[in-house]
Amino acid sequence: MAPRVLISDDLSPAAVAIFKERGIDVDVKIGLPKDELEKIIKDYDGLAVRSATKVTEKVIAAAGNLKVVGRAGIGVDNIDVKAATAKGVIVMNTPFGNSITTAEHAISLMMALARQIPAADRSTQAGKWEKSKFMGVELFNKTLGVFGCGNIGSIVADRAIGLKMKVIAFDPFLSAERAMALGVEKVEFEEMLRRADFITLHTPLTDKTRNVLNAESLARMKTGARLINCARGGLVDEKALAEAIKAGHIAGAAFDVFEVEPAKESPLFGLPNVICTPHLGAATNEAQENVALQVAEQMADYLLKGAITNAINFPNITAEEAPRLKPWVKLAEQLGSFAGQLTESSIKSIHIEYAGEVANLNTKPMSAAALAGVLRPLLSGVNMVSATSNAKERGIKLEETTRGQDGAFESYMKLTVRSEKYDRAIAGTVFSDSHPRVIQVRDINMEFEISPHMLFVRNADKPGFIGRFGAVMGEAGVNIATFNLGRDKPGGDAICIVATDEAVSAEVLAKVRALPHVVRAVPLAF
């Protein structure tokens, strides 16, 4: 059955065509009331939105089949990402489709602010000729401070360098090498405030960046500096900025985004040398087309191939990686499930070792799958997307190590669950037939494939166990598909892993546990 996608905001017809061309059923229903969206969302695998649709916790809760929400744009303020993650729903955005458009808008606002163009236009069209009133400043040789030198910020920096401005940048994630390649000087926040003639913001709104430019930090800006915000409302305390402009400390500001949108009122409105636009950063025909096409391609790739691009709540998986990763992800989930079903006490941490060629792959999806497998016996409904947040909430640490080839296998992964009482280890590999196989349990070498119904038995390595066990299963009419044995040393601990055609009943399980030398017997389901 083909995946189904709902488009609930106005997207380009080309995006609809992409879904249809790739065999995905698509419905376009724009402007749905929230109760109607909650009612019908259960029928869809994907939801494509812009900023109008509010993907709330209630919408997520009602979405029984939803796998992905695609946002045609950068900001995901209208999507409850936490609820989506807990439900295992991928949330994607399109950070690059409108980058140039937003950067150009920031440059446009900076130039308009420097030369007071909007006010001069209003004055001239009113029949005045106030040439001396609108004395502006040049951009040439001025210092531009770029707060956030990521995708959009770096484009702004490039354009500003073309205008012969000196560009300094504050960004904790900007490396010295990247700064050099961009031709910008990396500085700390305080130095940017002190030196910049213009500051342009291009950073996400987080708990750390909310009101990052408040009364105190605005006071530390260079007297006569100008501020541009095309990033997110809430980065600047608008009331404090208005006071700084009235006091003459800040010469002007240009804002495309506001604390409350739509912005019907703001302390900045009506102030001299303040320019305000209604969140136009991405509002060009080219940008709207680009983000619509990008979100359609990304969602289609995920629903059809398992490729994940620009996800907010999960590591990326390219379309090229997906086929190669698929058997390893399956193995990771199987190993996690195996260990999780055998773990009875509280889990402290999970350690995953990647050795050989698998260590060179994208290990994040594999680790997420292993984590989901471990947690699923304890938390129903957990999956690769929600596993990490569920583990953090419960104080379970995830540790990863990678190493070169070691031992008889070219490539393998080993998962160790550390609980309050003991460590539980299991290892596996993927052979050339792409079938995952377990190769070690509790450091005992043994090879088998995971089956839907299995039985784990730990016993003392004593004669007679196999015969007695076989008799119990035969008398109960349980057909054994595969039977694997291993031991740590002669007469020591032994493990028996049995695959059966059907689940072992509680009555048969009780008889197995009653056999001489049996320490533990646990049914496993996959």
The SS3 call for residue 187 is coil
Which structure tokens are listed for 296? 């359609």
- Per residue in 241-262, is it b (16+ CB within 10 Å) or e — as a string? bbbbbeeebbbbbbbbbbbeee
Q: Cα–Cα distance between 177 and 161 in angstroms, integer?
A: 17
Q: What order do you get walking across the sheet with 444-448 strand by strand?
A: 397-403, 347-356, 411-419, 423-430, 436-441, 444-448
Q: Cα–Cα distance between 338 and 334 in angstroms, integer?
A: 6
| Amino acid at site 517 | H
- Per residue in 347-356, is it b (16+ CB within 10 Å) or e — as a string? beebbbbbbb
Q: What order do you get walking across the sheet with 25-28 strand by strand?
A: 25-28, 4-7, 46-49, 68-71, 90-92
Which structure tokens are listed for 498? 């049995």
Residues making up the chain, counted from first to last = 526
Q: Cα–Cα distance between 70 and 68 in angstroms, integer?
A: 6
Asked about 400 being catalytic, the answer comes back as no
Ramachandran angles phi, psi of 208, nearest 5°: -80, -30
Give which of 437, 434, 433, 435 is closest to 408, Cα–Cα: 437
Identify the H or E element spanning 525.
Answer: strand 518-525
CB 76 within 8 A of CB 312: yes
Query: Choosing from 159, 226, 279, 418, which is the catalytic residue?
Result: 279
Give which of 311, 305, 303, 318 is closest to 26, Cα–Cα: 303
Cα 199 off chain centre by: 29
- Per residue in 136-172, is it b (16+ CB within 10 Å) or e — as a string? ebebeebbbbbbbbbebbbbbbebbeebebbbbbbbe
CB 504 within 8 A of CB 523: yes
Query: Choosing from 21, 130, 138, 261, which is the catalytic residue?
Result: 261
Query: Choosing from 22, 232, 424, 437, which is the catalytic residue?
Result: 232
| Distances from the Cα of 126 to the Cα of 129, 136, 276, angstroms | 9, 20, 20
Q: Cα–Cα distance between 72 and 7 in angstroms, integer?
A: 11
Asked about 435 being catalytic, the answer comes back as no
| Distances from the Cα of 3 to the Cα of 15, 164, 294, 304, 305, angstroms | 15, 51, 18, 8, 12
Asked about 279 being catalytic, the answer comes back as yes
No. of helices (H) and no. of strands (E), the chain? 17, 22
Q: Which residues are catalytic?
A: 232, 261, 279
